[in-house]
Amino acid sequence: FWKSGTAEAERLMLSRTAFSMAVLLAAVVALATVAPSAAFAPSTQLLGASALRQAAPLTLRTHGRIASRSLQQSLLCTATKDSSASSGIGWDSHKAIEKAPDSLCRDGTANTEMRAKFEKMCRDAQDQICKAIEECDGEGKFQEDAWTREDGGGGISRVLGGGKVWEKAGCNLSVVYGSMPQEALSAANDRRKFSTTDRAAGYQPGEKVPFFACGLSSVMHPKNPHCPTMHFNYRYFETEGGVWWFGGGTDITPAYLDEDDMKHFHGTYKEVCDRHDKDFYPRFKQWADEYFMIKHRGETRGLGGIFFDDLEDRDPEKIFAFSSDCAAHVTKAYLPIIEKHKDDKFTQQQKEWQLMRRGRYVEFNLVYDRGTIFGLKTGGRIESILMSLPETARWEYNHAAVEGSEEERIMKAFKEPKEWV
């Protein structure tokens, strides 16, 4: 077809070239203008695509690869330069292994006990969540990749593709040892909600700050447009200077609004929050609504959940217990919704709407997600960082939801976040 010389072939070729250039530009702008965050969000957000489908409007398909060679080179160059300059690790410094060791933490480092406890919590949660997802799907199985780094740390990535229920689901554990410039820490301090602790205390101007980070991150993209996408991330961060903090959250991204589903999801996490601090849910729910706002669209990526970062305002054991409780309730909050809708009938128009909402998911992750930028800036493993975009997404020129439609109904919720419980 591409050799036929027809006008249609030329038009589609130009469309592909233009879109590849647009994606490259978005990536360059994001990497150039978004300050890297010291709030570690490992293994989140896929930043590319393997090919464009032939039908217009444009549809993006991804299989853990990057859309164009130029984009791939741009990302790799960025990661290589930044990692060698700021972190002491690089995008190609990961060694594949057949099986991960019992712990990826180094012995003899600061606060070894909390580091080891958080890693174990993440690994237990990864096992529990992946097992539950496989059981619910009935066909799909997670593929596991494990790796280590010479200077310590590593990770375990698990990705399920082509399942009966989930088109793509990933759940990644990362343990990172590296160093970063002080300006990265300062940029994160500007967004702090709980304190003004100087993360670079004890280091000379210009001196890099060694850090440790451990986290579990996941994104689940179902096939059925009545089944929502779900994302979570829980992490612990610490500098060798003794400054530490926790971050995380779980959020949901439906294409169609079922208020009972949202009450269940938000209600589950309100119960978790209330067990630890009555102020957590209203504070972290609002924080999620703010964080997941797609500013250039004036709408949220989804319908929120909870999000917190830089949490260090109390005994670390209490925050660890809260993070553990949140991770343990991912399946309770999410899977009943999937079970309810996984066999729902849907139309082609509803599927196309789901793909357009996935396009918004891509936009947020490309332009705003701090975890993606942090991973690239600190030499993270590319396949893990770029794991979580859906296999398919859609952009339709100047699309507007029909007045009075179900699509318009959920758009109102995206533009004006509301209270569900």
Evaluate whether 250 touches 333 at the Cβ level (below 8 Å): yes
Active site residue 231: yes
Please give the Cα distance from 155 to 146 (Å, whole number): 6
d(CA 287, CA 194): 12
Choosing from 94, 221, 226, 231, the catalytic residue is 231
Cis preceding linkage at 222, omega within 30: no
Q: Name the helix (H) or strand (E) containing 318.
A: helix 316-328
Residue 389 class from Cβ within 10 Å (0-12 exposed, 13-18 middle, 19+ buried)? buried
Farthest-apart Cα atoms in the chain, separation: 68
Ordered strands of the 244-253 beta sheet: 94-97, 143-149, 153-161, 166-180, 209-222, 229-239, 244-253, 305-311
In this structure, how many other beta carbons lie within 10 angstroms of the beta carbon of residue 250?
Answer: 26
Active site residues: 231
